[in-house]
Structure 1
Amino acid sequence: MQLLHSLCRVPAPAGNEAALTQFVLNYVHEHQASWEHRPEIVADDRFQDCILLVFGQPRTAIFAHLDSIGFTVRYGRQLVRIGGPQVEAGYRLVGQDSQGLVDCTLTVDNETGELGYAFHREIDRGTELTFYCDFRETVTTVQSCYLDNRLGVWNALRLCETLEHGIIAFSCWEEHGGGSVAYLAKFIYETYGVRQALISDITWVTEGVHAGQGCAISLRDSLIPRRAYVDRIRAIAAASGIAHQLEVEGSGGSDAKELQHAAAPWDWCFIGAPEDHVHTPNELVDKRDIESMLALYRVLMQEL
């Protein structure tokens, strides 16, 4: 879990993913010699802070978003949400502005719900703040801020160790409206002819999806993937014997929303480990679901 711990510690709120982009690129350069197959690395100004790793003759693309939720300093001591973080007075927030490192406390007005911070000075407006990383590991679980979606990124990087054919797409802005997957999908489709995708992201523990019973294959959220494609995935998953669950939700979304709206015939399916305490500093995932997620992706990338 050392790689996951390191990923969770790198701040990358939506719109300011550069530090995590560089971390991932450094990791790829340092480790690709030990992988079974080396990818083409596509990372330049055309794709802003996104990264594509292209292996062999790809048939399927995996999308994993780099960014996280967080807060932007407004005026005075006000904060504005980045994405949809859960808020509770006393949460520890960290960042950096022109005056140095920031380590402050989230405040919530009891009457208005207005968000702010407690710190010994005013923080530069426009500064991004993220949850302080307190990574906790037990024999059966990991708990930290930003397992959504550092765990999806971890899954994608671990897949690179054995992947022969496929594309890994590390995207940006997913937590705050998206935008990057549109141009990534266009480039992938036009350059490689790939039009089927898996979304390496983290979902929720609910009354129907339980921790420790395997990763979730989502049949739908606020969007509905093409049933024929999802049925192919379900058949492969069933034949593999890998523990998994089926998820049905009426809300929520992911990088898939831009594939669904693309001007190309993209198929997609969200597959991810479920977590508890979503969008808090204390996101919690069962290790059995992490193992299931990686194992299922390995099989799917061979057979899809």
Structure 2
Amino acid sequence: MDLLRTLCQLAAPAGNEAPMTEFLLNYIAQQQSSWRVQPQVLAGEGFQDCIILVFGQPRTAVFAHIDSIGFTVRYGQQLVRIGGPQAETGYRLVGQDAQGAIDCTLTVDAKTGELGYEFTRLIERGTELTFYCDFRETDTTVQSCYLDNRLGVWNALRLAETLENGIIAFSCWEEHGGGSVAYLAKYIYEQYGVRQALISDITWVTEGVHPGEGVVISLRDSLIPRRAYVDRIRRIAQESGIPYQLEVEGSGGSDAKELQHGAQPWDWCFIGAPEDHVHSPDELVDKQDIASMLALYQVLMEKL
């Protein structure tokens, strides 16, 4: 879990993913010689802060967003949300501006709900603040801020170790409305003819989805994937014997939104471990669900 801890500690809120991109490119350069197949690495200005890894003869693409939720300093001591973070007075926030390191406290006005911060000085406007990372690991669980979606990124990096044919796309902005998957999907479809996708992201523990009972295959959220594609995935999962759960939700979304609304005929399915304490500093995931997530991705990328 050392890699996951490192990913969770890296500040990269939506719009400022560059530190994560730099880390990933360095990690890939250092590790890929030990991978089963060395991928073609596509990155740079044409892809903004996104990265595409192409392995062998790809049939399916995995999308994992590298951004997180957070806050932006507005005027005075005001904050505005990046994405949809939980906000409670007392949460510890960290960041950096031209005057130095920042370690401050979130405040929530009891009457208006307005967000602010307490610190020894004013923080420069436009500065991003993220949850302080308190990474906690037990025999059975991992708890930290930003498991959504550092765990999805971790899953993709571990998948890369044995992947022979496929694409891994690291996307940006997912937590704040998306914006990168549209051009990534267009490029992948036009260059490689790939139009099957798996969304490597983290979902919610609910009354119907329980920690420790396996990775979640989402049948729908605010979007509805194509039934024929999801049924193929369910058959492969059933035959594999890997523990999994089925999710049905009426809200929530993911990078799949841009695949669904795009001009290319993409099939997609959201598959990820469920977490408790969503979008808080204390996101909690069961290690059994992490293991089944990686195992199912390995099987699906081979058989789809």
Shared topology, TM-score over 0.5? Answer: yes
Aligned length: 304
Question: Which amino acid is the alignment partner of residue 298 of structure 2?
Answer: R
Dislocated runs of 4+, deviation >6 Å? none
Which residue number corresponds to residue 67 of structure 1?
67
Deviation at 1:151, TM superposition (A): 0.1
Deviation at 1:159, TM superposition (A): 0.4
User: Structure 2 matches for 1:15-34, cutoff 5 A?
Assistant: 15-34=15-34
Which residue number corresponds to residue 110 of structure 2?
110
Question: Which amino acid is the alignment partner of residue 71 of structure 1?
Answer: F
Deviation at 1:69, TM superposition (A): 0.2
Q: Report Cα offsets for 1:147-188 as digits up to 9, x if no partner.
A: 000000000000010000000000000000100000000000
Which residue number corresponds to residue 85 of structure 1?
85
Say which SS state the counterpart of residue 103 (structure 1) adopts: strand
| Alpha-carbon RMSD | 0.3
Q: Report Cα offsets for 1:240-273 as digits up to 9, x if no partner.
A: 0000000000000000000000101000000000
Question: Which amino acid is the alignment partner of residue 207 of structure 2?
Answer: E
Say yes or no: does 1:167 pair with 2:128.
Answer: no
Which residue number corresponds to residue 40 of structure 1?
40
Say yes or no: does 1:133 pair with 2:133.
Answer: yes
Once residues 160 and 109 of structure 1 are traced to their aligned partners in structure 2, the CA distance between those partners, rounded to angstroms, is: 45
Say which SS state the counterpart of residue 106 (structure 1) adopts: strand
Question: Which amino acid is the alignment partner of residue 5 of structure 1?
Answer: R
Question: Which amino acid is the alignment partner of residue 257 of structure 2?
Answer: K
Once residues 238 and 36 of structure 1 are traced to their aligned partners in structure 2, the CA distance between those partners, rounded to angstroms, is: 26
User: Structure 2 matches for 1:45-64, cutoff 5 A?
Assistant: 45-64=45-64
Which residue number corresponds to residue 120 of structure 1?
120
Once residues 242 and 35 of structure 1 are traced to their aligned partners in structure 2, the CA distance between those partners, rounded to angstroms, is: 24
Which residue number corresponds to residue 204 of structure 1?
204
Deviation at 1:4, TM superposition (A): 0.1
Say yes or no: does 1:182 pair with 2:210.
Answer: no
Which residue number corresponds to residue 9 of structure 1?
9
Say yes or no: does 1:280 pair with 2:298.
Answer: no
Which residue number corresponds to residue 235 of structure 2?
235
Say yes or no: does 1:267 pair with 2:267.
Answer: yes
Deviation at 1:237, TM superposition (A): 0.1
Deviation at 1:31, TM superposition (A): 0.3
Q: Report Cα offsets for 1:198-257 as digits up to 9, x if no partner.
A: 000000000000000001000000000000000000000000000000000000000000
Q: Which structure 2 residue ranges, 5 or more long, are not aligned? A: none
Q: Report Cα offsets for 1:108-166 as digits up to 9, x if no partner.
A: 10110000000000000000000000000000000000000000000000001000000
Q: Between the two proteins, what is the percent identity of the paired residues?
A: 80
Say yes or no: does 1:221 pair with 2:221.
Answer: yes
Which residue number corresponds to residue 155 of structure 1?
155
Which residue number corresponds to residue 101 of structure 1?
101
Q: Which structure 1 residue ranges, 5 or more long, are not aligned? A: none
Once residues 28 and 16 of structure 1 are traced to their aligned partners in structure 2, the CA distance between those partners, rounded to angstroms, is: 20
Once residues 161 and 175 of structure 2 are traced to their aligned partners in structure 1, the CA distance between those partners, rounded to angstroms, is: 27
Once residues 250 and 111 of structure 2 are traced to their aligned partners in structure 1, the CA distance between those partners, rounded to angstroms, is: 31
Which residue number corresponds to residue 254 of structure 1?
254
TM-score normalised to structure 1 length? 1.00
Once residues 262 and 188 of structure 2 are traced to their aligned partners in structure 1, the CA distance between those partners, rounded to angstroms, is: 12
Deviation at 1:44, TM superposition (A): 1.1
TM-score normalised to structure 2 length? 1.00
Question: Which amino acid is the alignment partner of residue 134 of structure 2?
Answer: D
Question: Which amino acid is the alignment partner of residue 138 of structure 1?
Answer: T
